[in-house]
Amino acid sequence: MVIQIFNSLTRQKEQFVPLEEGKVKMYVCGPTVYNFIHIGNARPVIVYDTVRRYFQYKGYDVKYVSNFTDVDDKIIKAANELGEEVFELTERFIHAYFEDITALGCKQADVHPRVTNHMDDIIEFIKVLVEKGFAYESQGDVYYRTRKFDGYGKLSHQSIDDLKVGARIEAGEKKEDPLDFALWKAAKPGEIKWESPWGEGRPGWHIECSVMAREHLGDTIDIHAGGQDLTFPHHENEIAQSEAYTGKTFAKYWMHNGYINIDNEKMSKSLGNFVLVNDIRKQIDPQVLRFFMLSVHYRHPINFAQDLVESARAGLERLRTAYSNVEYRLNAATNLSDNGDTYLEKIEEIKKFFEEAMDDDFNTANAISALFELAKLANTYLNESNTEERVLNALLQTFNQLGEVLGIQFKVEAELLDEEIEALIEERNQARKNRDFARSDEIRDQLLSMNIILEDTRQGTRWKRGL
C-alpha cells in the first residue's frame, strides 16, 4: 500500500511519491531554545518522530533534519534577564530539549543544525536574494520584497491583497511595503551580532529554515512539517525565500499538526496553564503522555485533560497486561498444534489494519485500535488455554513491531517490592550526594516507568504508586 499524506499546500490527501526512490527527505521546524519545551511543543516532535518511524518501518531511508533557533529576540531578552551569555542559555536548553524528547521516546534528528553555525550560509543566501531583486537593503536591515514573488500566499491559501489588509509597518522598520519581512536585522547597541555586507546584525527568523533545509537536504525536499501555527507567515515566507533562490519547488508535501488545549482552554502564558514537559514527565509516565498524544489524529486539536490522560494510561495498561500474559504463557509453550493457523491469519489481518490506518495520513488513532484488537485476540487465545509457541511468539513480535512504529514499549519490568523501591531511592540519594545527577535521574525515570512517583521534600524522598 502507498502512503497518503494530507498536503496543506493542495488541501487534499495525496499519494506519497518520493523524489528519490526509497528515500525521504524531511525537515521539521524545531524550537527556539530559551526555555523548557511545553507539551504544545512536544506534539510535533512526537507526531513527526512517529511519521519518520513509519517510513522506516516501510523500508524507507529517512533523512530527518530539525533546527534549533539559537539566536532571536526572545533568546536575547531571556539571556539579559538572567544575566547569562546567549550561548550558555541556548546550550542549557538544547540539553534540556534532548532530555525531554528522549524521555518521550523520540529519536534525535539526523541533523540538528543551529543558526549560529550557519551564519555564512545565511548571509550568502540573502546576498543572492538581493542580487535577484527579491530583497533590498534599507539602513542596515534587509527585507524580502514579497510582491515580487508570484506564489506568495499559496500555502496559507490567501491572496496578497487579503494579506495586505492585516499588514502594517512597525515602528523602526524601514520597508517598501507592509508585507515585506526582515531577512537581516541591524544590531541594536549591546546585542549579539555578526558582520555582514549590510553592517553588523543578525538574521530574521524565517531565513534560517530555508538555508538549513537546503544545506542539509538540497533544493527540493519531500516533506516539510511543523505546527499549524507556523503555516503563516513562517512557512509561507520559507517558500518565498527558497523558491526565489532556487527557482524550484521547495517542498512537495507540507504537513501541519493541530493545537493542544489544556482543559479545553488555549494554552497561554497569561492564563498560567503552561504545562512543561520537564515537569509533567516527572508526574506521568512519559510513555503514557506519548500514547495519549497519538490517540488523536495529528491534524485534530487535542485536549490535555486529566481524565483523558487517565484513560490513555488505562488503555496502555490493558495492552501491557495482554503482552505480559502472553510472555508468561511462553513459559508453558509447546509445539503442539492447536488452532494456531487461524490465529496467525488473524494476527496478519490486524497488522494489515494497522498499516492501512498509518497509510491513511498517519492515522495513529486507528492504528491504536488495531493494537487493542491484537490485545483482544491475545486474551482470547490465552483464555482458550492455547500454548502454541509460534503463535505466542507471533503475538509478542507483532506487539513489538507495531509498538516500535508508535514509539511505545509494551514490555514492562516485573513489579517492584517496597524494599526494592526503597533500595533504589537510597541509591538515588547517594547519587545526588555525589552530584551524579545522570544516575539519579535515571533511577527516578526507571521508577516512574513502573508508575512509582517520587517526591523530594525537606524531610527526604517520599514515594507513592501512581493511579
Q: Of the ranges 10-18, 160-168, 204-212, 386-394, which one interacts with Zn ion (CB under 5 A)? A: 204-212
Which residue lies nearer to Zn ion by CB, 209 or 289? 209
Judged by CB under 5 A, the chain residues 330 through 369 that form the site for Zn ion are none
Which residue lies nearer to Zn ion by CB, 227 or 258? 227
Q: Of the ranges 49-57, 207-215, 278-286, 428-436, which one interacts with Zn ion (CB under 5 A)? A: 207-215
Which residue lies nearer to Zn ion by CB, 209 or 395? 209
Among 3, 5, 26, 29, binds Zn ion (CB under 5 A): 29
Which residue lies nearer to Zn ion by CB, 155 or 408? 155
**Least distance CB 214 / Zn ion (angstroms):** 12
**Least distance CB 224 / Zn ion (angstroms):** 8
Question: Identity (one letter) of the amino acid at 367?
Answer: A
**Least distance CB 283 / Zn ion (angstroms):** 31
Question: Identity (one letter) of the amino acid at 426?
Answer: E
Q: Of the ranges 26-34, 169-177, 280-288, 333-341, which one interacts with Zn ion (CB under 5 A)? A: 26-34
Which residue lies nearer to Zn ion by CB, 110 or 389? 110
Which residue lies nearer to Zn ion by CB, 62 or 207? 207
**Least distance CB 212 / Zn ion (angstroms):** 8
- CA–CA distance, 336 with 333 (Å, rounded to integer): 9
23 contacts: CB under 8 Å, gap ≥ 6: 60, 61, 62, 63, 222
Which residue lies nearer to Zn ion by CB, 233 or 407? 233
Q: How many residues belong to the site for Zn ion (CB under 5 A)?
A: 2
Q: Of the ranges 202-210, 259-267, 285-293, 336-344, which one interacts with Zn ion (CB under 5 A)? A: 202-210
**Least distance CB 447 / Zn ion (angstroms):** 37
The answer to the question of whether 106 is labelled as a binding residue is no
**Least distance CB 196 / Zn ion (angstroms):** 21
End-to-end CA distance of the chain: 40
**Least distance CB 244 / Zn ion (angstroms):** 16
Among 37, 51, 65, 209, binds Zn ion (CB under 5 A): 209
Length of the chain: 467
The answer to the question of whether 188 is labelled as a binding residue is no
Which residue lies nearer to Zn ion by CB, 209 or 391? 209
Which residue lies nearer to Zn ion by CB, 3 or 211? 211
**Least distance CB 230 / Zn ion (angstroms):** 6
Instruction: Answer yes or no whether residue 212 interacts with Zn ion by CB under 5 A.
Output: no
Judged by CB under 5 A, the chain residues 278 through 337 that form the site for Zn ion are none
Q: Of the ranges 34-42, 181-189, 203-211, 397-405, which one interacts with Zn ion (CB under 5 A)? A: 203-211
**Least distance CB 209 / Zn ion (angstroms):** 3
**Least distance CB 296 / Zn ion (angstroms):** 24
- CA–CA distance, 6 with 4 (Å, rounded to integer): 7
- CA–CA distance, 92 with 222 (Å, rounded to integer): 32
Q: Specify burial of residue 123 (Cβ count, 10 A radius: 0-12, 13-18, 19+).
A: buried
Q: Of the ranges 205-213, 257-265, 302-310, 383-391, which one interacts with Zn ion (CB under 5 A)? A: 205-213
Query: Per-residue contact track with Zn ion, 121 to 160, x per CB under 5 A?
Result: ----------------------------------------
Which residue lies nearer to Zn ion by CB, 246 or 461? 246
Task: Give me the residues that bind Zn ion (CB under 5 A), please.
Answer: 29, 209
Q: Per the annotation, where are the binding residues for ATP?
A: 269
Q: Per the annotation, where are the binding residues?
A: 29, 209, 234, 238, 269
